[in-house]
Amino acid sequence: MSINRVNISGNLTRDPELRMTGSGTQILSFGVAVNDRRRNPQSGEWEDYPNFVDCVVFGARAEPLSRFLSKGSKVAVEGKLRYSSWETKDGQKRSKLEVVVDEVEFLSPRNQQGGGASASYQGGPSYGAPVAAAPQPAAAMPQQGGYANPVQTPPSTDVYDEDIPF
């Protein structure tokens, strides 16, 4: 038995590229940079070494997802590995390993880089909706008559109904 699943989290290295096949299938391609920590043999210090992972999303999810992603966005991606090999016009053999994405979790707010609220977009047969970050804790008002009047903080405004990609 073998298992082909991969989970990575990192930042997008470029803006996603959306294209369409001749038969009308949408394809979204993007890259994610992830770090590997290794000890430098000369200095003995720990250093980060980047790895660049190509990711691809197929089908109806590609176009809506492209509106949520941009260079620098922090994401967590789950999917499976796919190996491709081909020969160029000048006879050189090429190959690559890429992630065919099933789920994407947004780890930075929309149109911003860095940490903050998170939402997810799940693919596959269930086509889950983005999930907004948990509401922040309620703030307490000054006490009147020995009772606290809690005020519920409104949920984050990073995700609106019209932003849901389906």
pTM beyond cutoff 0.85: no
Task: Write the pLDDT tens digit of every residue in 137-148.
Answer: 444 434 444 444
Task: Please give the CATH architecture assigned to the domain spanning 6-134.
Answer: Beta Barrel (2.40)
Task: Write the pLDDT tens digit of every residue in 55-111.
Answer: 999 999 999 999 989 999 999 999 999 999 999 999 999 999 999 999 999 998 765
- Residue of 102, 96, 103, 62 whose CA lies nearest to 82: 96
| Amino acid identity for residue 101 in this structure | V
- Residue of 55, 38, 56 whose CA lies nearest to 47: 38
**Measured distance CA(148)–CA(141) in Å, rounded:** 6
Pairing status of strand 46-58 against strand 139-140:
unpaired
Structure tokens at 124: 């596959």
Break the chain into its structural domains and give their ranges.
6-134
Structure tokens at 89: 């016009």
Checking if the pLDDT of 160 tops 70, the result is: no
